Amino acid sequence: MKKLKNWDNKTWLSSKSYISQFNRFLKKKINLDKNSKILDIGCGRANIISALQKKYKFRNKPIGIDIVANKDVKKNIVFKKIGALKYLKKKEKYDLILIKQTIHFFSKSNLNHLLNLAKKSLNNKGKILIFSLKTNNNKIPCFEKMRKNLEKSLKRDEVLFKIIKKNLKEISYTNFNFKVNISKQKYLRMIKERYISCLLNMSNKEIKFGISEIKSKYKDQIKFTDTLKCISYRK
């Protein structure tokens, strides 16, 4: 698969209100203080852990890892360009391992591998929080071919959820909802920049075609709820 670079490049996923609502949600899931150690797997531009660092001023800066090093990755965290499986072999311990919208990049066997390593990398009472798009009735605005790809990927996610349940056993589920209100023009730019993985392997022609479909299908302002399933595991 091609690399994902524009996911959080000035989109609602990097907006102040998204990050603050997301981190308020995190606060309900885990008690953090300045001694907490955090690892964000597939951190992108590291907006989430950067905001946490500003708030909690952790003694150990949160670590964000990703296979893509974006040039505008946040500076107040420790970023490492490395794959998760390789990094987790270092056997450092964390209080929170965050895996947000990243599991779909893993094969089934590598996901098991990732979870086994993540479990071993938790401090006592540490938590793994996995976030992934909700799979039924997903509201992400799509053109036809994009919807087809997304549905296929969400079907695969359901298989991954079963693997997670089998591996982690004692888990709890909640949803994180964010109300998106975005201009059609901005959303078209996001599609053009292939912000989501279901667009990565499309041809330029398919993207162009899709853009004209979105242009005619949606009003000037696009509103929908972006819902993530949160899977929580505690050691």
Ligand X SMILES: C[S@@+](CC[C@H](N)C(=O)[O-])C[C@H]1O[C@@H](n2cnc3c(N)ncnc32)[C@H](O)[C@@H]1O
| Residues in contact with ligand X by the rule CB under 6 A | 4, 7-8, 13, 41-44, 65-68, 83-84, 100-102, 105
CB-CB contact of 152 with 133 (8 Å): no
- CA dist list (Å): 56 to 25, 31, 34, 92, 115: 15, 11, 5, 21, 27
Three-state DSSP state, 185: helix
Residue (46 or 188) nearer to ligand X, CB: 46
Buried b (16+ CB within 10 A) or exposed e, 156-188: ebeebbebbeebbeebeeeebebebebebeebb
Residue (15 or 123) nearer to ligand X, CB: 15
Write down the H helix ranges in the chain.
16-29, 47-56, 84-88, 108-120, 144-168, 184-192, 204-217
CB-CB contact of 107 with 94 (8 Å): no
Residue (201 or 221) nearer to ligand X, CB: 201
Residue 74 main-chain phi, psi, to 5 deg: -60, 145
Please give the structure tokens belonging to residue 48: 């989430």
**C-alpha angle 43-49-54 in degrees, rounded to nearest 5:** 155
Three-state DSSP state, 90: coil
